[in-house]
A and B are shown apart, each in its own frame.
Chain A
Amino acid sequence: MAAAGPSVFLLMVNGQVESAQFPEYDDLYCKYCFVYGQDWAPTAGLEEGISQITSKSQDVRQALVWNFPIDVTFKSTNPYGWPQIVLSVYGPDVFGNDVVRGYGAVHLPFSPGRHKRTIPMFVPESTSKLQKFTSWFMGRRPEYTDPKVVAQGEGREGENAEAETPKAAQLMPPFSSQ
């Protein structure tokens, strides 16, 4: 925490999106971005990033390892709207279309130090069986208009809640914040 001029505090995050467990899929890449409140502003580092495509490891773990670095610094005057990291994972489907494989979000750790987070991932489900089939066939799965939606509560009640199926996926970005 440093105070400069109008008192703000800084949140420095560096870490990495380590790996993921997507038992069914391979050749995935992930995108990360941050969602934060109005009183927050990024001061340094990258707010968004797209990782390389990674293949499953050949060992028993079958992990998709990215080791994709994250380094960003925020400044804020208000803990309200603490940044959340939003991860979205994409990969090719059977027909080679790039489709989304999971969304997930987690708050940045509140305490300094090394943290490891496992984020359960999910994708919105098609509203009907027929749509599921067509979306599969056309390679246009239902997607969020904006991945940042997953970090917000608004509009996700009711109609959207049942549209989500949790996927057994793990992303473990260890963050350290100071």
Chain B
Amino acid sequence: MNPKEEKVKIITEEVDENDEDAGVGSQKKTSKMARQKRKKPLPAAGPEEMVSENAHLGNQPEPLQEDSDTRPVSMTTRRGPRSLPPIPSASRTGFAEFSMRERMREKLQAARSKAESTLLQEIPTPRPRRLQSPGEKELETEFGTEPGEEAQKTQQEDDSQSRSRVKFRDSVRKIKTKPPVPPGFPSAEEAYNFFTFNFDPEPEESEEKPKAKNRDGTTQEEEEGEEEEPPVQGIHKTDEQLLISATEAEAFLWGLDHTAADFVAVRPADYESAHVRLQMEKELLFVPSRLTVPTYKKLPENVQPRYLEDEGLYIGTRPDVPRTCQNIMENRLLTQEPGRRWFGDDGRIVALPNPIKPFPSRPPVLTQEQDFRAELETLYKKAVKYVHRSQHMIGSGDSPGNFQLDIDISGLIFTHHPCFSREHVLAAKLAQLYDQYLARHQRNKAKFLTDKLQALRNAVQTGLNPEKTHKSLDTTQKTINEYKSEIRQTRKLRDAEQEKDRMLLKTIIKVWKEMKSLREFQRFTNTPLKLVLRKEKVDQKADEEAYEAEIQAEISELLEEHMEEHEQKMEAYRAAYQQWKAWKKAQRAKKKKKKQAVEEHPEEEMGEPYPEEDPVKPVPPEPTDRALMEHQVRERAARSRRRPGEPLLVPELSLAGSVTPNEQCPRVEVLRREDVKRRSIYLKVIFNDKEVSRTDSRPLGADFRVHFGQIFNLQIFNWPESLTLQVYETVGHSGTTLLAEVFLPIPETTIVTGRAPIEEVEFSSNQHVTLDHEGVGSGMPFSFEADGSNQLILMTSGKVSNSVAWAIGENGIPLIPPLSQQNIGFRSVLKRADAISSIGTSGLTDLKKLAKWAAESKLDPNDPNNAPLMQLISVATSGESYVPDFFRLEQLQQEFNFVSDEELSRSKRFRLLCLRSQEVPEFRNYKQIPAYDREIMEKVFQDYEKRLRDRNVIETKDHIDPHRAMVAKYLQQVRESVINRFLIAKHHFLLSDLIVEEEVPNISILGLSLFKLAEQKRPLRPRRKGRKKVTAQNLSDGDIKVLVNIIRAYDIPVRKPTASKFQQPSRSSRTFSEKHAASPPTHSPTHSADYPLGQVLVRPFVEVSFQRTICHTTTAEGPNPSWNEELELPFRAPNGDYSTSSLQSVKDDVFINIFDEVLYDVLEDDRERGSGIHTRIERHWLGCVKIPFSTIYFQAKIDGTFKIDIPPVLLGYSKERSMIIERGFDSVRSLSEGSYITLFITMEPQLVPGESVREKFDSQEDEKLLQATEKFQAECALKFPHRQCLTTVTDISGKTVFITRYLKPLNPPQELLEACPNNPQATAELVARYVSLIPFLPDTVSFAGICDLWSTSDQFLDLLAGDEEEHAVLLCNYFLSLGKKAWLVMGSAIPEGPTAYVLTREQSHYLIWNPCSGHFYGQFDTFCPLKSVGCLIGPDNTDSQDHQVILVTPSFGGTLNYEGYCRRLVKNRSYEVRVPEFKLQCHHLLAV
């Protein structure tokens, strides 16, 4: 505790005294904390420093005053916004009081501080520093800024006195201190900023400053001064330095200037033009061109490039070099080395195959850019027992480790070692040779061959003796020849063997001699080797004889041979000689000729060609010289054979010799022996590249043999891939060196312990060792000769004797892993390139595996390295492998059949489901197929089965005659086929079937819609707007209504006026109206006016009946009544099925009956007439109109005037009267006789009729014709988009047929023709009636579904039922046969809709025939039901050929007159013609 600390305490206590409020407590705490924080830096700045600082301060003008001055300021600032604690005090105690108290305290403090300053020798007060201390600041900011701010505001407002004082003090201080606001002191703004801002951006500054202040321990001003001073000084210093350096530089420059002025001559800069430089560079530099070198430059002249690859030779892949680099290199080579040795036959640079392996041998390093922390993160992994990879694993099921490999290492012999002395080298050589000799001796091939030779000779001898042979001469000769050739072979072999034997013996002796001489020379022996040559005495004479006999035999044989040869040669010579002679003769003759020729044409002599060289005169072969041959034979015998009488030498090598002891040896030898002794050898056993064990370290013996005699039992998991012994040599304590590696073969599975032979495996090392003693070293040249010639280089080598075998278990089972465990499928890609590592050694014997491997590794079959392998594989695979030549589909089907087929077919439910999915009519809409078989009634199938059974049985019961029954059957069949066809078509959807999409508006539509904008909103005569169509989906009974609007009728038959004659036949017959003539209906006043009697002619009403519903209108009056009434009839679809297909087949008709309502007064008693009315209403049927529902359905609306079917005879009614009356107002109507009714029928809501099936049927028509029709149709559709234009139709068998095929003149029945032979018109009418009598049956009804099948007239007459078109076709054909000009009219009529009529041309006019009714209409008939015409179809009358047909599409304008635009399609071509004579004036036909 230093005095400062005490002082701090005093001050805080004082503060406590001043602020008695509890709120101050917190301040105290904070201040305490702040002070405690402050304590730490203070001691660092020791009191001495302070003193010195203060002393420095003393230099300033008013140190003391300033000291005292700063403190109150700091006090105020503390009280101000920057100190938090006063807030509560400020708010609670009055400010006046507060200010008073403060003033008091200030004074007190001032006094105290004075005292203190004197006492403590200007030790700075902690208080001001407290404000600036960083701890304080931090604290304050921590407390939050807002309260402070508020406090500031309140104080600024309220505490004006203190404020002003502060201001005053501030101003004073401003004057006194150099900077207006000391940086340490925050201004109001700064303070504000301090509280509101985050001081993040410059934390160092704010921290450093207070620190500095703390260290200084002085007030702000002092610090300021200090802070400002050093930089100034620094500047001064640097300024001075600059000055000095400037002067120095000047001096230097001056000196330099002097010298420069003396020596430097001013010249213009050297300039070399770029051109010149380039020229120079060109001379020096060579820039090879990048252009491709033409091949001929790279090859010798007149040599075509030869591509080895094309010849089937293997060329490895060349390393990939960019083309430009290659070009540059080639250019360079061409210019630098004119010789083309760098270029191959194919004109490319000679290159070795690409050495780069396709697969990296190093596993790829995962270079994922991860967070390094993630990489460093330690992961805990549970210790897992090492699981062997499956390809190495042996038998996962078997207990692992049951396999054992026994390796017996018995010893090691060095055949060369660096420590070998020269003698050792020789000894090794000798031992080797002796081994060789022993081996040869054991086989004794020479003896065997000699015996064989003898045997052969005997055979020849016997063969030559004819008495002993019973064979034919030919065969003997042949065998003898064979024998002879064999003898020759054997003799040669024997000679070689004998020579080898002899040579070996000689070398052994030579080496032994060398060794002996060496031993003598060096005067010590190193090796115990000793060669003893044992001589075996032989019988001189016998030996000599045998020798001589042998030689003689050989000579004779040779002679024979030579004779044969000579004979052959002679023959060849003779032939050649003859040839030569002939040539010579010819030559001579030629020469003679030539001479003559030369005489004649001397100038030609020069050009005489000598095409063939003169054949050399053959030399006759020399006869063999026996003496010479004998000499040769003897020489050879001497060389290779033991001389007769010479003892037989048998070398015997023994180790009986003694080795010179060390003491008697020279120093170098002793050193060598010591070196050998220091060395020891051990072996490591490496299994699958892992060391498994090692032998003991054994010292190297003086004979360079190491005996180990150790057996290692390797218990293995893995299949042995490699077994290696490493030979290590230890020299003293210096360490071990790896001498060599010995690779042991993995034993075959048949080799087990006990049976394995000890094998010697050779090894050698390539180490170079030079030794400073007698040792010859390794890999170093040395010589036995004194002069150092005949140098030898020997490498360390040796043999390891070992045996490897599979162990045998306790129960005698060899512990061998099964071979099948090897699976090549698991091999890594790396190993793919190596067959052995890939499939294992034993895999090499399995050709299939090998082939598989070869295929997998994509061996280059052209690579010569692979050639034998490929051949082997090709041989192996061609014969053995079996590839099935079939492919099994759904091979797992059997497994998934959960029920047998019979059971499945027996299941009723399955059958039902099948039939439904096939859409068999009976089951098509079958709902809720029962869940169980037992719930399915047998009768479900009855109908279906019956139908199937009855398919071919024709029942006559239901029909009038068998013909009709047959027709019905036939129709049924056609219907079925059609249904099937349409069922298929129904499942083909177009985009428009699924997606409603607006069409792209074209100009006309756009224009129309624009025009519509200008239309009247409420036109006077509103047009009928199309209603929304409803697709038949959610309809039920009662939803659909048929609306029949009955408007008016014309020419209703009227009651016969003659009825008045019978006015009184009976009272009951009097009509009601007659009685009440005085009150005629006002409905038709004109009529009533006409009738003088005021008699009502007729009171008609209309009754509409449809599906058993009957509605009727009110009663109108007169023959031309007007009802204008709408009748509503409910529609019920059959079986409640409102689907399109069901609606199509509704056969119901709408009957519109017209009745005359007649009232009869049945009042018997006239007296009651005044009080009551008693009448009877009678309805007299006048006629009817029948409209099929299908028409309404397809037409959507029927609007028009219909002819009422009136029976020919209507009793009591007539039309005559009306005829007379009506003629006046409409002459046109006069043509038609009959009554008409105007109707409008529609359905509510409007149903969408099903679309006709779009399906292209196949056709037998000419393709060209079909194309033409399509084109024609397309053109017509373009011109008249709404017109029905037919070119092809579907016939009853479902084929597309050209429409005119139906039209051909047919003779009508003879009876019809004979009926009115003189009146063609009557005949025509009769024919029409005849046709109309054939029953009408719409296609939709007969063939379900919207289709238009055209049956021919023949078929039509057979079926006895048909549609409009059939009728029309038949009628047209009849008319044609009558000699009329007739056409088929395709148009739309009322009520049928699109239909077919027949048009005939009479003398002056045209008639339109309705084929179904037999009616005909004049071309001007208003009531003609045909309302528009799509096209006319008929045979071209101008053409003679019947089938050439014109199709006419008349164009109707709004005008009445027809404009003769025609378009004809004749056969295969369509073209436009104007047909002037074809002028049809049918003005009543409206434009479509």
Q: Pick the contact of B925: A38, A80, A140 (CB < 8 A).
A: A38
Given contacts A6-B930, A39-B929, contact A134 B1000 (CB under 8 A): yes
Which A residue's beta carbon lies closest to that of B993? A155
> In the assembly, what is the distance between CA of A6 and CA of B935, in Å?
7
Nearest CB on B from A10, distance (A):
12
Contact B987 A154 (CB under 8 A): yes
> In the assembly, what is the distance between CA of A6 and CA of B934, in Å?
10
Which A residue's beta carbon lies closest to that of B998? A140
State which residues 890-942 of B face A: CB under 8 Å.
Answer: 913, 916, 925-932, 935
Q: Pick the contact of B995: A38, A130, A142, A154 (CB < 8 A).
A: A142
Contact A142 B932 (CB under 8 A): no
Q: Pick the contact of A144: B926, B994, B1031 (CB < 8 A).
A: B994
B991 at the binding interface (Cβ < 8 Å)? yes
Contact B927 A138 (CB under 8 A): no
Contact A135 B998 (CB under 8 A): yes
Contact B928 A127 (CB under 8 A): no
Contact A159 B931 (CB under 8 A): no
For A127-163 the 0/1 string (1 means CB < 8 A from B) is 1101100110010101111100100001110011001
> In the assembly, what is the distance between CA of A134 and CA of B1005, in Å?
13
B885 at the binding interface (Cβ < 8 Å)? no
Q: How many A-B residue pairs have CB under 8 A?
A: 86
Contact A39 B927 (CB under 8 A): yes
* Residues of chain A with a CB closer than 8 A to B916's CB: 38
B989 at the binding interface (Cβ < 8 Å)? yes
* Residues of chain A with a CB closer than 8 A to B931's CB: 6-9, 77-78
> In the assembly, what is the distance between CA of A154 and CA of B989, in Å?
8
Contact B988 A155 (CB under 8 A): yes
> In the assembly, what is the distance between CA of A156 and CA of B930, in Å?
31
> In the assembly, what is the distance between CA of A77 and CA of B603, in Å?
122
Contact A142 B997 (CB under 8 A): yes
* Residues of chain B with a CB closer than 8 A to A146's CB: 1031, 1033
* Residues of chain B with a CB closer than 8 A to A124's CB: 994-995, 997
A126 at the binding interface (Cβ < 8 Å)? yes
Contact B929 A130 (CB under 8 A): no
Q: Pick the contact of B997: A8, A80, A131 (CB < 8 A).
A: A131
Of B926, B999, B1001, most A-chain CB atoms within 10 Å? B1001
B990 at the binding interface (Cβ < 8 Å)? yes
Nearest CB on A from B763, distance (A):
73
* Residues of chain B with a CB closer than 8 A to A138's CB: 998
A41 at the binding interface (Cβ < 8 Å)? yes
Contact B989 A155 (CB under 8 A): yes
B948 at the binding interface (Cβ < 8 Å)? no
* Residues of chain B with a CB closer than 8 A to A140's CB: 998
Q: Pick the contact of A159: B925, B929, B932, B991 (CB < 8 A).
A: B991
Q: Pick the contact of B1001: A127, A134, A159 (CB < 8 A).
A: A134
Q: Pick the contact of B1000: A128, A160, A163 (CB < 8 A).
A: A128
* Residues of chain A with a CB closer than 8 A to B929's CB: 38-39, 77-78
Contact A8 B928 (CB under 8 A): yes
* Residues of chain A with a CB closer than 8 A to B1031's CB: 145-146
* Residues of chain B with a CB closer than 8 A to A142's CB: 995-998
Which A residue's beta carbon lies closest to that of B999? A131
Q: Pick the contact of A77: B925, B930, B1000, B1001 (CB < 8 A).
A: B930
In terms of DSSP, what is the predominant structure of the interface of chain A? loop
> In the assembly, what is the distance between CA of A159 and CA of B927, in Å?
32
State which residues 971-1006 of B face A: CB under 8 Å.
Answer: 987-991, 993-1001
Given contacts A155-B988, A155-B989, A163-B991, contact A77 B928 (CB under 8 A): yes
* Residues of chain B with a CB closer than 8 A to A156's CB: 989, 994
Given contacts A128-B1000, A134-B1001, contact A155 B928 (CB under 8 A): no
Given contacts A6-B935, A77-B928, contact A127 B996 (CB under 8 A): no
> In the assembly, what is the distance between CA of A145 and CA of B996, in Å?
6
> In the assembly, what is the distance between CA of A69 and CA of B1119, in Å?
65
Contact A135 B997 (CB under 8 A): yes
Nearest CB on A from B1112, distance (A):
40
* Residues of chain A with a CB closer than 8 A to B993's CB: 145, 155
* Residues of chain A with a CB closer than 8 A to B999's CB: 131
Nearest CB on B from A50, distance (A):
14
Contact B1001 A7 (CB under 8 A): no
Contact A131 B995 (CB under 8 A): no
> In the assembly, what is the distance between CA of A8 and CA of B1033, in Å?
26
> In the assembly, what is the distance between CA of A76 and CA of B930, in Å?
9
* Residues of chain B with a CB closer than 8 A to A155's CB: 987-990, 993-994
Nearest CB on B from A141, distance (A):
8
Given contacts A39-B927, A41-B927, contact A131 B1000 (CB under 8 A): yes
Contact A38 B994 (CB under 8 A): no
> In the assembly, what is the distance between CA of A156 and CA of B997, in Å?
15
For A93-112 the 0/1 string (1 means CB < 8 A from B) is 00000000000000000000
Nearest CB on B from A143, distance (A):
5
Of B930, B989, B990, most A-chain CB atoms within 10 Å? B989
* Residues of chain B with a CB closer than 8 A to A143's CB: 995-997
* Residues of chain A with a CB closer than 8 A to B1033's CB: 146
Contact B932 A7 (CB under 8 A): yes
Contact B994 A134 (CB under 8 A): no
For B598-633 the 0/1 string (1 means CB < 8 A from A) is 000000000000000000000000000000000000
* Residues of chain A with a CB closer than 8 A to B998's CB: 131, 134-135, 138, 140, 142
Nearest CB on A from B583, distance (A):
90
> In the assembly, what is the distance between CA of A159 and CA of B993, in Å?
11
> In the assembly, what is the distance between CA of A140 and CA of B998, in Å?
7
> In the assembly, what is the distance between CA of A113 and CA of B987, in Å?
37
> In the assembly, what is the distance between CA of A156 and CA of B988, in Å?
10
Which A residue's beta carbon lies closest to that of B986? A154
> In the assembly, what is the distance between CA of A134 and CA of B1006, in Å?
12
> In the assembly, what is the distance between CA of A139 and CA of B988, in Å?
29
> In the assembly, what is the distance between CA of A6 and CA of B987, in Å?
32
Contact A38 B1000 (CB under 8 A): no
> In the assembly, what is the distance between CA of A126 and CA of B988, in Å?
21
Nearest CB on A from B408, distance (A):
70
> In the assembly, what is the distance between CA of A77 and CA of B925, in Å?
15
> In the assembly, what is the distance between CA of A144 and CA of B993, in Å?
8
* Residues of chain B with a CB closer than 8 A to A78's CB: 913, 929, 931
* Residues of chain B with a CB closer than 8 A to A131's CB: 997-1000
* Residues of chain B with a CB closer than 8 A to A144's CB: 994-996
> In the assembly, what is the distance between CA of A41 and CA of B987, in Å?
24
Nearest CB on A from B741, distance (A):
67
* Residues of chain A with a CB closer than 8 A to B994's CB: 124, 144-145, 149, 155-156, 160
Q: Pick the contact of A38: B927, B988, B989, B1001 (CB < 8 A).
A: B927
* Residues of chain A with a CB closer than 8 A to B925's CB: 38
> In the assembly, what is the distance between CA of A7 and CA of B999, in Å?
50
Given contacts A128-B1000, A135-B997, A143-B996, contact A160 B991 (CB under 8 A): yes
Of B926, B930, B997, most A-chain CB atoms within 10 Å? B997
Of B932, B987, B998, B1031, most A-chain CB atoms within 10 Å? B998
Nearest CB on A from B174, distance (A):
57
* Residues of chain A with a CB closer than 8 A to B1000's CB: 128, 130-131, 134
Nearest CB on A from B525, distance (A):
101
Residues of B whose CB lies within 8 Å of any CB of A are: 913, 916, 925-932, 935, 987-991, 993-1001, 1031, 1033
Residues of A whose CB lies within 8 Å of any CB of B are: 6-9, 38-39, 41, 76-78, 80, 124, 126-128, 130-131, 134-135, 138, 140, 142-146, 149, 154-156, 159-160, 163
Sample of 10 more A-B contacts, CB < 8 Å, known A124-B994, A144-B994, A156-B989: A39-B927, A76-B928, A78-B913, A126-B997, A135-B997, A143-B995, A144-B995, A145-B1031, A146-B1031, A156-B994
Q: List 21 A-B contacts (CB under 8 A).
A: A6-B931, A6-B935, A39-B929, A41-B928, A78-B929, A80-B913, A124-B997, A126-B997, A127-B991, A128-B1000, A131-B1000, A134-B1000, A138-B998, A143-B997, A144-B995, A144-B996, A145-B996, A155-B987, A155-B990, A155-B993, A163-B991
7 tightest CB-CB pairs across the interface, nearest first?
Answer: A155-B989, A142-B997, A77-B931, A140-B998, A7-B931, A159-B991, A124-B995
